[in-house]
Amino acid sequence: MKSYQEVYKILASETDYVSGEKIGDLLNLSRTSIWKAIQRLQQEGLEIDSIKNRGYKLLQGDLILPQEIDANSPISVQFKPITKSTQSDAKEAMEVGAKGDTLYLSTSQTMGHGRFQRPYYSPEQGGIYMSLHIKPNLPYDALPAYTLLTAGAIYKAIKNLCLIDVDIKWVNDIYLHQKKIAGILTEAITSVETGLVTDVIIGVGINFSISDFPKELINKAGSLFTPPAPITRNELIAEIWKCFYETEADELLYLYKKRSIVLGKEVSFVQEHQTFTGKACDISDKGQLQVQLSDGNIIWLNSGEISLTKW
């Protein structure tokens, strides 16, 4: 672990000011090395106060520590501070034979995107951007509903750590106070030879502790926390994937339906350039949404977008 990461861990574990002398004694570092570490942490976006004769205090912000996530979750972690997108990182690794159960993680994306290739707002500070590569080797019809399971795991992890109830909008969005705080993008790769789905990449973007959004997103996007956050991104990331791997699928699907903001509501959607409205009645274990149309007919939506008539 690098010096600035070690200094961060000490500051994060203290609630009061820590003297440079104490940090130096604990880490066997010179005052100059400590000062450089503090500078690096500030460059990473952490807010650190310093008072003469008292030392340093972490006011807000955290540092991604991939080795901690790796140690506290059932996955391997590959980390880039800045990347084009974690989905691209996962695909590139997959193409050269990387093993599954690997998380590709970053604190900033330059070309992050969601469904339909829409740009995904990925600021340099306060977000979580990650893509999990798994190798199911299953027929398409036998695949679990990975998007739903991931959403259920996100809900459970946040509830476990913070006692906060977030909401889920079919099919892949997490909401808090009627604003989107997270999105999920699941992509599958099928073998032409065997017909099996060999690889799945589950991309997750979370607005963890972001205070400023572009003008066009202010009324749509929210953040899990307003800085300072009561937990670290490391804790939440590890907990999400622990919940994903260690919770029974039935429980995660139950949580997904329990926190759904569309079930029982009137929704609208577009098919073949025509707008339909109806009541969202159920969500299947495969992720399909059952809608009873205004004419009484019942249909199942496999994908696409819906709009809520009322929250």
For residue range 72-128, what is the model confidence (pLDDT) as tens digits? 999 999 999 999 999 999 999 999 999 999 999 999 898 766 655 566 677 778 999
The answer to whether the annotation marks 109 as part of a ligand binding site is yes
Of the chain, the end-to-end C-alpha distance in Å amounts to: 47
**CA–CA distance, 101 with 260 (Å, rounded to integer):** 28
pLDDT the model gives residue 27? 96
pLDDT the model gives residue 111? 78
**CA–CA distance, 26 with 13 (Å, rounded to integer):** 13
Where do the domains of the chain lie? Answer: 3-60, 66-259, 265-308
Contact 205, 108 (CB under 8 A): no
Token pair listed for 256: 């997904």
- Tens digits of per-residue pLDDT, 245-267? 999 999 999 999 999 999 999 99
Q: Which residue in 2, 64, 8 sits closest to 233, CA to CA?
A: 64
Of 246 and 1, the structure prediction assigns the larger pLDDT to 246
Cβ atoms within 10 Å of 293's Cβ, excluding its own = 12
The answer to whether the annotation marks 180 as part of a ligand binding site is yes
Topology (CATH) of 66-259: BirA Bifunctional Protein; domain 2 (3.30.930)
Backbone angles phi, psi at 147, to 5 degrees: -65, -45
The answer to whether the peptide bond before residue 270 is cis (omega within 30 degrees of 0) is no
* Mean pLDDT to the nearest integer, 202-227: 91
pLDDT above 90 covers a percentage of the chain that reads 82
Contact 49, 59 (CB under 8 A): yes
Query: Could you say which architecture CATH assigns to the domain 3-60?
Result: Orthogonal Bundle (1.10)
Question: Which band of pLDDT confidence, cut at 50, 70 and 90, is reported for residue 306?
Answer: confident
- Tens digits of per-residue pLDDT, 140-185? 999 999 999 999 999 999 999 999 999 999 999 999 999 999 999 9
pTM (two decimals): 0.92
Topology (CATH) of 265-308: SH3 type barrels. (2.30.30)
Of 217 and 37, the structure prediction assigns the larger pLDDT to 37
pLDDT the model gives residue 139? 96
Rg (CA), the chain: 22
- Longest Cα pair distance anywhere in the chain, in angstroms? 76
- Tens digits of per-residue pLDDT, 49-79? 999 999 999 999 999 999 999 999 999 999 9
pLDDT above 70 covers a percentage of the chain that reads 96
**CA–CA distance, 224 with 201 (Å, rounded to integer):** 24
* Dihedral of the alpha carbons of 13, 15, 21, 22, in degrees to the nearest 10: -50
* Mean pLDDT to the nearest integer, 292-297: 93
Token pair listed for 284: 């299947």
Question: Which band of pLDDT confidence, cut at 50, 70 and 90, is reported for residue 218?
Answer: confident
Strand partners, 180: 175, 221
Provide the 3-class DSSP secondary structure of residue 78: strand
